[in-house]
A and B are shown apart, each in its own frame.
Chain A
């Protein structure tokens, strides 16, 4: 299963994208259209949605019912949680993390964006940029989603007017320059009428760019991964204890970044001992090289003491080893805020530690980007810059350089809930 793309019959590449926007922006209609036009929507799903919609007396079939899966969501007509949707075209397979847009669901937006290759932000052409659009763009840039697409929707309701589109595009681009958005594409669409969603629109000859789906199929994501810094967090030590494999000792894990090859010199952190890679193994046989996101088993030439939470890297390219962590934290707990001097468990790569909050430097208003330096706690859905001291050193990189070694979660030890997400800066 570790063959390359080109040598396999099944040549689909995987693209994960997060959608942000509210029902009013036409997000559900857009997702419904992508599913429908790619034949990923099944007849019985459609029939069920149609029946519920008709039963409620809706004037048209409400595509939001497709994605709003929980009883309370359908009852209240709102999206509460991230829903995952899947569709495929001959070019690619797509995983959509459909996230609710309202501010009280910032944590869900952050969750959906954490694994996304691309973020799709919707605005209503009649309304232009609103507070919510800016917040979505900011969160996606904070989470370092490599590609961003702004869909200016409901172009049919503004007579497909180029001037309306240009105004919104320019305003958004001006805002995006203040953020870190590596790749931005802006597409005028009508999700309801289908303009520029799957096929290029006849109504907007002034728009020279590709349709949304064409862009999703073609956007170059292979370079998004960090193939430079070798980081291999050891997940599990494989020791068969059988007569056939008496001395076998392999370090199992998923490659976070970089390219590893047999013969490479590696350093084990935090011990600092060095060895060479004897082999990189999978159940299908050894590999000549391994890269993210492959799950492999690495064997070393020397007998070293290596366990879960340790990290393999190259001696000349090491992560930071530090107990003092500066991070942007998104707080996700309804019950209790993050507090100064609060103690929490954290999970970072395959490593568990405890941490104390030494300082809350500021709380950030995600709408205005204003910094409130008087804050000394973070409540649900608030984001702020925090200094932590950990019980043991974290083997980390700046999140900006490495999403896999720069992110961590915060766990409340009293009830084991995940209460926050941290981005190392």
Chain B
């Protein structure tokens, strides 16, 4: 340790740990949004490191659309049991049954997650919600603060964000308002994969390549499962795919890949020419500003 330099991954880790601790020390009721996706998995890992040897001092919450990959739910429950952290499930199905939200005709539940999330935040009086969003994912996210203020309605106002200087984060809110906190803001997809590799963090199986029955929809490969039914005229074929992101099973496409280890995935990500959301997410394709619009409404 002679030259007092650290790698950029270590610098990103130190920054994320600082952010977790800052929230725990200054906010009343934080919660970590945990979907079982790789970014939220890294978040939970970082939260454990930030407070060790004490346990993670806040619960985790999953906004469950009921359309998840089964492997991901299994992983979620396993991980929660290992860490001893409290899991809160906000169920979209339950909200549909209660008439709180209406399922769109196309069956996609991405957009109706938002009122369910906001309802749960209000019920549990969460004032700080950790999310795994990264600025490299999407161009509206590239503009978002690490501590991102949401008003009484959970709305993001991109033109009226709090200035964020040095590492002096402003987490002050009035009752009913929230801060969304993004400790991975400065990480890229490659940083996340490399970190998963160096820290040897286990992942759900869907992230690794395996042969699945798929259909091709507009150049994207969707695995056939209970949420993706074969439509008339669609051809089902076998393809070896893995998932670069994990959202709802009916909205997330796989990418052709033979990568069965973290090292192989890193090699693929390094040479990829397409962003992870562009390659895999039907929910972002709606319009140029699809993500900005959803974020304004209170999306993750």
| Chain A interface (Cβ < 8 Å from any Cβ of B) | 1-6, 8-14, 42-45, 48, 52, 66-72, 74, 80-86, 88, 92-93, 95, 107-108, 110-111, 114-115, 222, 225, 227, 235-236, 238-242, 244-245, 248, 252-254, 259, 282-284, 288-289, 291, 293-295, 297, 308, 332, 345, 347-348, 350, 403-404, 407-409, 411, 416-418, 421
Contacts and interface: CB of A to CB of B under 8 A. Distances in A.
A42 B189 CA distance: 12
29 contacts: A1-B198, A4-B1, A8-B198, A9-B198, A14-B7, A42-B273, A45-B275, A52-B288, A68-B139, A69-B139, A70-B140, A70-B289, A71-B288, A83-B143, A86-B135, A88-B188, A238-B54, A242-B55, A248-B54, A252-B21, A253-B21, A254-B17, A259-B4, A294-B6, A294-B10, A295-B13, A347-B170, A409-B168, A418-B163
* Leading 7 A-B pairs by shortest Cβ distance: A69-B139, A44-B278, A283-B49, A14-B8, A416-B172, A240-B54, A295-B17
A293 B9 CA distance: 12
A48 B278 CA distance: 10
Contacts of A48: 288
B66 interface: no
A3 B10 contact: yes
Contacts of A350: 22, 25
B275 A72 contact: no
Interface stretch (B92-100, B154-162, B230-238, B249-257): B154-162
Contacts of A71: 288-289, 292
Contacts of A84: 135, 142-143, 185-186
B28 to A, nearest CB: 14
Given A70-B143, A240-B54, A421 B165 contact: yes
B48 interface: yes
A66 B140 CA distance: 11
Interface string B79-106: 0000000000000000000000000000
Interface centre among A13, A236, A411 (most CB of B within 10 A): A236
Given A42-B278, A44-B274, A293 B14 contact: yes
Given A1-B198, A4-B3, A225-B4, 16 more contacts: A5-B3, A5-B5, A6-B3, A69-B143, A80-B159, A84-B143, A235-B18, A236-B25, A238-B51, A242-B54, A242-B55, A244-B53, A407-B165, A409-B170, A416-B174, A418-B165
Interface string B52-74: 11110000000000000000000
Contacts of B53: 238, 240, 242, 244-245, 248
Interface of B: 1-15, 17-18, 21-22, 24-25, 48-55, 135-136, 138-143, 158-159, 161-168, 170, 172-174, 185-186, 188, 190-191, 194, 198-199, 272-275, 278-279, 288-289, 292
Contacts of B165: 110-111, 114-115, 407, 409, 418, 421
Nearest to A334: B160
Contacts of A42: 272-275, 278
A83 B166 contact: no
A85 B185 CA distance: 11
A153 B288 CA distance: 31
A410 B290 CA distance: 34
Contact of A4 (B6, B158, B170): B6
Given A84-B135, A332-B163, A407-B168, A43 B273 contact: yes
Given A2-B10, A3-B10, A240-B54, A107 B49 contact: no
A242 B52 CA distance: 12
B166 A404 contact: yes
Contacts of A244: 53
A350 B19 CA distance: 12
A72 B293 CA distance: 12
Nearest to B4: A291
Contact of A10 (B51, B54, B198, B275): B198
Contacts of A416: 170, 172-174
A86 B168 contact: no
A241 B52 CA distance: 12
A275 B140 CA distance: 48
B163 A10 contact: no
A93 B273 contact: no
A261 to B, nearest CB: 10
A170 B147 CA distance: 42
Contacts of B14: 254, 293-295
Contacts of B49: 282-284
Nearest to A347: B168
Contact of B142 (A85, A107, A235): A85
Contacts of A5: 3, 5-7
B55 A240 contact: yes
A8 B3 CA distance: 14
Residue among B52, B194, B199 with max Cβ neighbours from chain A (10 Å): B52
Given A43-B274, A95-B186, A294-B6, A418 B25 contact: no
B164 A111 contact: yes
A88 B142 contact: no
B22 A70 contact: no
Contacts of A110: 163, 165
Given A48-B288, A295-B17, A407-B168, A86 B6 contact: no
Contacts of A259: 4
A303 B195 CA distance: 36
A341 to B, nearest CB: 22
B4 A222 contact: yes
B11 A293 contact: yes
B266 to A, nearest CB: 10
A221 B133 CA distance: 29
Contacts of B6: 2-5, 293-294
A254 to B, nearest CB: 5
Nearest to A71: B289
Contacts of A14: 7-8, 11-12
A404 B168 CA distance: 9
Nearest to A8: B7
B158 A70 contact: yes
A236 B21 contact: yes
